[in-house]
Amino acid sequence: MTVCDKCRREAAAFIRYSGVHLCKDHFCEFVEKRVRHELRDQLDLKGGEKIAVAVSGGKDSTVALHLVAEILGKRRNLEICAITVDEGISNYRESSIPIVEQNCRTLGLEHIIVSFRDLYGTTMDEIAAKNRKLSTCSYCGVLRRAAMNRAAKDWNATYLATGLNLDDTAQSILMNFARGDVERLARLGPHEKIQPGLAPRIQPLRRIPESETTLYAMIKGLRFHDLECPYALEALRNSYRKVIIELEDRYPGTRHSIVRSYDLMLPALRGMFPQARLQTCACGEPSLSQKCKACELIESLK
């Protein structure tokens, strides 16, 4: 991490887990360096790759899109696009899509939009109003992942980049660990092996704390959507978010330690749960069983 006189005089950021003050330029350089490192680590570029970025319009996916375009966009023989899933959440999604469109225009990238209405014949608002067994976010998460995979495959994407940051990653690890879902823990991205029908996920921001993606977006003047989803309060993830924030506050560096420990355990976890052979659901999506989770959920609502 480079530090200059300006960092001491006009610090824009205090990196608590390192005890360092950084000026705007060195803060951005610090973020970009780690993202470059992750992209080098997670991608195997031979030429001709197509990288789709999942962009909701929020700060994390906006920063991911901006950095993937900035770092990889000048390469010849590589294509980048943004994919947005419109879940059909009123007073929320309709205001984020124009922001993504505008950002894609500025970056000169194709923007693909897929909707729950077109794919599943329903919307999250309609699902939320039904008598259902699971939380709204449980339906949304499964349907959105399937929709994103379908759009990435239709575009022939070699990789699908998401905006998951360090906080999200630490939360997912803790959440699956606490639920005893060790198999799912072994399958968290980034994906190293290519599975037929599944665009491998990469996570360029997995080492960048949420507060740093926000600051980066603000310093760079990136336009992002900052409304909260009306169903967000139902998310189980919120409890883990609170725990991680509290731990990080008391013991700076906790999020990094959780992810580092997970990475150390990952080869053993993947040894315990080798990649299963995927089947193809009638909808065309890859699935662990005959019917994919998205089709199961849609049918359960009928």
Q: Which residues bind ligand SF4 (CB under 6 A)?
A: 87, 124, 136-137, 140-141, 229, 231-232, 235
Q: Phi and psi for 87 in degrees, rounded to 5?
A: -80, -15
Radius of gyration of the chain (CA): 19
**CB neighbour burial string for 3-38, b if at least 16 within 10 angstroms, e if fewer:** eeeebeeebbbebeeeebbbbbebbbebbeebbeeb
| Strand spans (E) along the chain | 13-15, 20-22, 49-54, 78-86, 110-115, 159-161, 201-202, 279-280, 286-287
CB of 129 to ligand SF4, least distance (A): 13
Q: Which is nearer to ligand SF4, 227 or 276 (CB)?
A: 227
Q: Which is nearer to ligand SF4, 138 or 275 (CB)?
A: 138
Of 7 and 174, nearer to ligand SF4 (C-beta) is 174
Least spacing, CB of residue 209 vs ligand SF4, in Å: 20
In the complex, minimum distance from the CB of residue 138 to ligand SF4, in angstroms, rounded to a whole number:
8
State the minimum distance, in angstroms, from the CB of residue 134 to ligand SF4: 11
- Taking the least distance from each CB to ligand SF4, the nearer of 194 and 232 is 232
Quote helix, strand, coil % in the chain, to nearest 5.
50, 15, 35
Instruction: CB nearer to ligand SF4: give 88 or 204.
Output: 88
Minimum separation from the CB atom of position 179 to ligand SF4 (A): 17
Pairing mode of beta strands 13-15, 20-22: antiparallel
What is the three-class DSSP state of 16? Answer: coil
